[in-house]
Amino acid sequence: MPELPEVETVRLGLAPVMEDAIVTRLQLNRADLRFPFPEHFSKRVEGERIVSLGRRAKYLLVDLQCGEVIIMHLGMSGSFRTLSGDMPGDFHHARTRHETHDHVIFHLRCADGQTAKVIYNDPRRFGFMLMSQRNQLDEHPSFKDMGVEPVGNALDAQELATGLSGRQTNLKAALLDQKVIAGLGNIYVCEALWRADLSPRRMAKTLVLKSGKPSQRAERLTETIKQVIAEAIEAGGSSLRDHAQTDGSLGYFQHSFAVYDQEDKKCRKDDCSGTIQRIVQSGRSTFYCPRCQK
């Protein structure tokens, strides 16, 4: 499942093509993906101008001038690529280029008058596209009760402490709860906990003082969460700018992880002689250093 940095990287790649473009045709090559397409999907979208391309957690949001929003999720294998006229465009994130898996095609007239296509390809069809009115988006089932974003100034230590207060579960599971932090996934929870010297086994509520205020551990964890997400987005963004990955993969995938998938390797902290271990928590792999993460 793609994590927030990958989805943000995709957004950054598609925005120059999609924003301010008119959808001249929405081509649906099947009746559904993970879920059926919205009723009269093509008719509702065709002729509309795309005001902006946003993101909420791991969802892409296509804001239309009419006030509706297309909610898009990549699922397990979904990806996008662009065509400028009939030539490959500036963005591709294709895990496969088999046209039999090209399920949705946005035919666009871009702001500069040129034509383009944005193609959604999904071999396993776990992705989906839904619609909502913009003024009802916060109450949509996908976003209702969703926590703050781990980017910018939205997340602070007090917000984290409020989410962890009284939680009788391990810290790893609490951080994966989308009601606490939106879009934070398995990989970057592992990385943030390592940087903060915190064990994924630690009880979540131990990061909160009796007064409800954040502890120093919570302050440190808040900063490491924001750091790893920002660095991962930057890694993907660098790849978008120079197209270093000729196979279309994003720099995000080339990120050098300190603990994730590093089982049995020496901990990378200079003052630690520990070894990275893998455990299973709630059916998910967790990687951490039991020596320096307490």
Annotated catalytic residue, options 95, 213, 284, 291:
284
**Structure tokens, 160:** 């984290």
Determine whether 141 is an active site residue: no
The yes-or-no answer on residue 2 being catalytic is yes
Phi, psi values for residue 269, rounded to 5°:
-75, 135
- Residue listed under structure tokens 């509706």: 68
- Backbone phi and psi for residue 286, each to the nearest 5 degrees, phi listed first: -120, 135
Q: Which of 55, 56, 58, 81 is flagged as catalytic?
A: 58
Catalytic residue among 2, 5, 150, 214: 2
Residue environment code for 92-131, b if the CB has 16+ CB neighbours within 10 A, otherwise e: bbbbeeeeebbbbbbbbebeeeeebbbbbbbbebebbbbb
The whole-angstrom separation of Cα 281 and Cα 200 is 9
Q: Is 58 an active-site residue? A: yes
Determine how many CB atoms are found less than 10 A away from the CB of residue 16.
18
* Residue 220 falls in the annotated catalytic set: no
5, 232 Cβ separation under 8 angstroms: yes
Active site members: 2-3, 58, 284
